[in-house]
């Protein structure tokens, strides 16, 4: 990746994140789940950067490097079906009304 592209991804963490998950996005439940993981992922990244700073080191970890090393497929598989957004109708069954005459 060239320097300009790297700089762009560092200035726009959303672009870095969504370009990282693009290869994992498949069916709609997976796309929704991964799209919803931006905030938790960014918070984990900030936690690691903060640990580097508290340890007396200059933070060198970039968000695009952090997301590049993540196994989003594993993260998705480790969630329950409900957390992944699959089988939603099980928790919202269709109601059948019976009218007696």
Q: Is residue 100 included in any domain, yes or no?
A: no
Q: Is residue 98 included in any domain, yes or no?
A: no
The answer to whether the Cα torsion of 50, 56, 57, 58 is positive or negative is positive
Alpha helices in the chain, H assignment, sequence order: 3-11, 13-21, 28-35, 38-54, 63-68, 72-77, 81-84
For 56-97, what is each residue's pLDDT tens digit? 999 888 888 898 888 888 888 888 888 777 765 555 555 555
Q: Is residue 46 included in any domain, yes or no?
A: yes
Domain coverage including residue 57:
3-85
Q: Is residue 96 included in any domain, yes or no?
A: no
Query: CB under 8 Å to 74, separation ≥6 — which residues?
Result: none
Assess contact for 61 and 19: CB atoms under 8 A.
Answer: no
Question: Residue 6: its pLDDT value, please?
Answer: 82
Q: Is residue 30 included in any domain, yes or no?
A: yes
Q: Is residue 18 included in any domain, yes or no?
A: yes
Report whether pLDDT(1) > 80. Answer: no
Q: Is residue 91 included in any domain, yes or no?
A: no
Q: Is residue 75 included in any domain, yes or no?
A: yes
Question: Residue 88: its pLDDT value, please?
Answer: 56
Q: What is the pTM of this model?
A: 0.68
């Amino acid at each position: 990746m060239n320097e300009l592209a790297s700089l762009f991804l560092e200035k726009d963490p959303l672009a870095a994140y969504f370009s990282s998950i693009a290869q994992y996005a498949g069916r709609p439940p997976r796309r929704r789940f991964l799209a919803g993981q931006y905030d938790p992922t960014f918070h984990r990244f900030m936690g690691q950067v903060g640990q580097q700073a508290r340890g007396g080191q200059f933070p060198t970890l970039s968000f695009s490097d952090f997301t590049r090393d993540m196994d989003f497929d594993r993260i998705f598989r480790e969630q329950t079906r409900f957390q992944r957004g699959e089988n939603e109708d099980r928790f919202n069954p269709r109601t059948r009304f019976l009218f007696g005459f």
